[in-house]
Structure 1
Amino acid sequence: MVIAAEEQRLGKPSAFDFGGVESATIGVIAERALVFAKLENRLIVGLSGAVGSLAETPDEFLFCFMAPPIPGDSATHMQEVLLQAFCFEHDIYIIKIDSAEKLSRLLGSSTMQSCALIQKNWVSDNQTEVLSKVEDQLVDFCEAHWESPVKPIVKLPEK
C-alpha cells in the first residue's frame, strides 16, 4: 500500500506536462526527491553501491537515477544496461538524467557518479510505503512514460 505524505519542507512545484514535451519542472522535482532522500539517509550513490544494494534488497527501492554513460567505457556501459534491466524487472522506476556532473554536484560527491537509488520510505509497520509529494509526482511522471520505448531525459537544474 502506498500513501502520499504531506511535503512541507521544500514547497509545492508547479504543474508539468506528462504528454511528451519535457519541462524544466520535472528536473526540479527530481532534484528535490534526491535532496530529500539524501537528508533522510535513503540514498545510495554510485554504480557499485547501487548494484550491491539491489542484489541484497531489490524490493526496498523506488527510483534509479541514471546519467548518460561515459563514451568509450564499455564495461561501465554494460553494468548500467544490466542495472536498468534489473530495475525494470523489479518495478523500480528508472529516471534518465542529463548529466553525471550535475548529479555529482547535487549530491555533494567529490567523484563523478553515474547513478543514484532512492529507497522506499516505510511507516513503522514496515508494510505501508509513504511517498512525499515530489516522489508521488515522479511516480506519475514515470508511469506516464512506462511503456515508452525511449525514456525522456530529465534535465537537472544547473545550480
Structure 2
Amino acid sequence: MCVAKFNDKCKMINRSKLGRAVHGMLTRAKVEKRLISGLLPAIAYLEKSPEDVVICVLPQSRPGDATTHIQTVLLQAFCYENYIPVIQVDSSEKLDSYCGEQTKGSISGCNCVLITKDPSMPVTPEEDIPMSPTEQILADFYECTLEEFPRPVIELPS
C-alpha cells in the first residue's frame, strides 16, 4: 500500500467512535458464532488455526496480576507474529458483559476474545482474510497505531 494512502486512512479513523465499533463487532460475532472467548479456548484455537483469526481483543491488564499480564504479553506476541491485529480495551467487566455467557446471576470470564473469519464472506484476491467494514476499521486502527507508545486503549461504552 502506498504510504500516502495509508496515512490518509489513518487520519480518517474517528477514535471517539471505536468503542461502539468494538461493541458492534463483538455483538455481531457472538450472534454469528464467530467469537472465541477466554484465554485457554483462545490459545487452543490459535494453536490449531491462527489463519482463521481476524482480530484479538484484550482488556488492559490489572496492576498486580502478574500471571495474567505474562499470558497477555505472550498472546500479543503470538498474534503479532501471525499478523493478527490486537485491540486493547479499557475494561474486562465491559468485555464480559458484551461476550460472556450469561449463567444464573453471573457472567463467565472473557479475559480474551478472538473473532474468527466469516465463512460466508466472499474472498477477494487483494485481501488475506475477508472482513466486515467494522473489522476493517479496527484492523486499520491497529496498523496505524503500531508504533504508538503506550499502545492506545479503546474505551468501551457502558
**Bin for the TM-score computed over the shorter chain:** 0.7 to 0.9
Aligned match of 2:61: 69
Aligned match of 2:36: 44
Aligned match of 1:32: 24
Gaps of 5+ in 2: 1-8, 102-106
Instruction: Give the C-alpha shift of residue 71 in structure 1.
Output: 2.8
Aligned match of 2:70: 78
Q: TM-score, normalised by structure 1?
A: 0.78
Aligned match of 2:99: 107
Letter in 1 for 2:141: F
Within 5 Å, give how 1:11-30 maps onto structure 2: 18-19=10-11, 23-30=15-22
Aligned partner of residue 113 in structure 2, secondary structure: strand
Q: Quick check: which one's strand share is greater?
A: 1
Asked if the contact 2:58/2:89 (under 8 Å) is kept, the reply is: yes
Distance 1:60 1:66 in 2: 18
Letter in 1 for 2:69: H
Q: Quick check: which one's helix share is greater?
A: 2
Tell whether 2:131 aligns with 1:131: yes
Distance 2:46 2:83 in 1: 12
Moved over 4 A (4+): 123-128
Distance 2:51 2:149 in 1: 24
Instruction: Give the C-alpha shift of residue 23 in structure 1.
Output: 3.5
Distance 2:53 2:41 in 1: 13
Superposed CA RMSD in Å reads 2.4
Aligned partner of residue 69 in structure 1, secondary structure: coil
Gaps of 5+ in 1: 1-16
Name the % identity: 35
Distance 1:123 1:89 in 2: 26
